[in-house]
Amino acid sequence: MEPEPIKGPRIVLAAYDLVLDLYPSVKSFPKSQQYMLGRRIEDAGLEVLVNLVAANTARDKREHLPAVDLQLEKLRFLIRLAFDLKFVGPKKYGHLARRVDEIGRMLGGWRKWSAKAETSDGE
């Protein structure tokens, strides 16, 4: 039986795809770093996804968005560290960095929309 396609806002789907890209990338790390740096990268990616899902289902989405922002920033630095340590090549780094940047732009848009919605609800 095939699972149903993942549904949700574009930002959640983008985070899901990012997590799918992170796992094989970490598998290519040296064994000694798969658990240390690799695990942190996987955890940060999962936290981005989980917090986005929580924000999407929450009544007040704004309370979850700072956690997404923090985890996304952590992920950005961890991926860069993996690149600088030569655990990922330039092509893979570019791909992952673009995905993280895309999610960051979408998150910024969501935060602005949430702030406007809060202002218009309070009037």
Domain boundaries, the chain: 10-111
pLDDT for 120 equals 64
pLDDT for 61 equals 76
Compute the distance between CA of residue 38 and CA of residue 22 in angstroms, rounded to an integer. 9
CB 67 within 8 Å of CB 47:
yes
* Average pLDDT by stretches of 10, the chain with 123 residues: 85 96 94 91 96 88 87 96 96 97 94 73 54
| In CATH, 10-111 is 1.20.1440.60 | yes
Smallest Cα–Cα separation from 56: which of 113, 7, 3, 12?
12
Smallest Cα–Cα separation from 93: which of 43, 51, 52, 41?
41
pLDDT for 119 equals 65
